[in-house]
């Protein structure tokens, strides 16, 4: 599967032991090759590779020199969302016109009722639902919009 904008990341770290060594650590992914010279780099570097696309590639990390550095390998991918994603909650927001100057078109001064329906797969405590008021809008009848338990 092709994924847009997701790099491979290889964070090469020095061992935390005293006298952790020196040398060069090289990371290779496909045609990409990046090296870290421990004499020049004082802090643990991060090496980023572009996502290899549809091709299957092998990431290789090799160290030449003293010590034994170690690496964190992470892959990140921005996968296009084809359907709504639910992480245990489903929130449905319904906007109903109460007063609207022109039917089917929102203009300044129109009044709407906003209804949020929250469905949870299991019982939860301490849940916050935050639905900010859009810029330029104001809340009418704030007393009736107080937090309530359904």
Assess whether pLDDT exceeds 60 at residue 89. yes
pLDDT 10s digits, 98-117: 999 999 898 888 999 999 99
Answer whether 1's CB lies under 8 Å from 38's CB: no
d(CA 66, CA 22) in angstroms, rounded, equals 5
Q: Is the pTM of this model over 0.85?
A: no
What average pLDDT does this structure show over 11-27? 61
| Domain spans in the chain, listed from the N-terminal domain onward | 8-75, 87-122
Residue 55: C-alpha distances to residues 2, 15, 31, 98 (Å): 9, 33, 12, 55
pLDDT 10s digits, 40-77: 656 667 788 887 777 788 888 888 888 777 777 877 76
Please give the mean pLDDT across all residues of the chain: 76
* Minimum mean pLDDT range among 13-17, 72-76, 83-87, 146-150: 13-17
Residue 115: C-alpha distances to residues 38, 118, 123 (Å): 58, 10, 21
pLDDT for the residue numbered 144: 52
Q: Name residue 13's beta-bridge partners.
A: 70
- The most confident of the ranges 14-23, 49-58, 129-138 is 129-138
């Amino acid at each position: 599967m092709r994924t847009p904008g997701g790099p491979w990341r290889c964070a090469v770290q020095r061992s935390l032991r005293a006298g952790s060594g020196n040398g060069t650590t090289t990371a290779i992914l496909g045609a990409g090759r990046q090296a870290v010279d421990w004499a020049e780099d004082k802090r643990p570097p991060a090496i980023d590779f572009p996502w290899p696309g549809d091709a299957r590639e092998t990431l290789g990390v090799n160290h030449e020199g003293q010590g034994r550095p170690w690496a964190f390998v992470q892959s990140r991918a921005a996968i296009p969302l084809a359907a709504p994603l639910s992480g245990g909650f489903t929130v449905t927001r319904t906007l109903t016109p109460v007063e609207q100057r022109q039917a089917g078109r929102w203009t300044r001064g129109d009044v709407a009722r906003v209804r949020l329906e929250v469905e949870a797969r299991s019982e939860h405590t301490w849940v916050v639902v935050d639905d900010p008021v859009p810029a330029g809008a104001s809340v009418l009848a704030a007393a009736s919009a107080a937090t309530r338990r359904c």
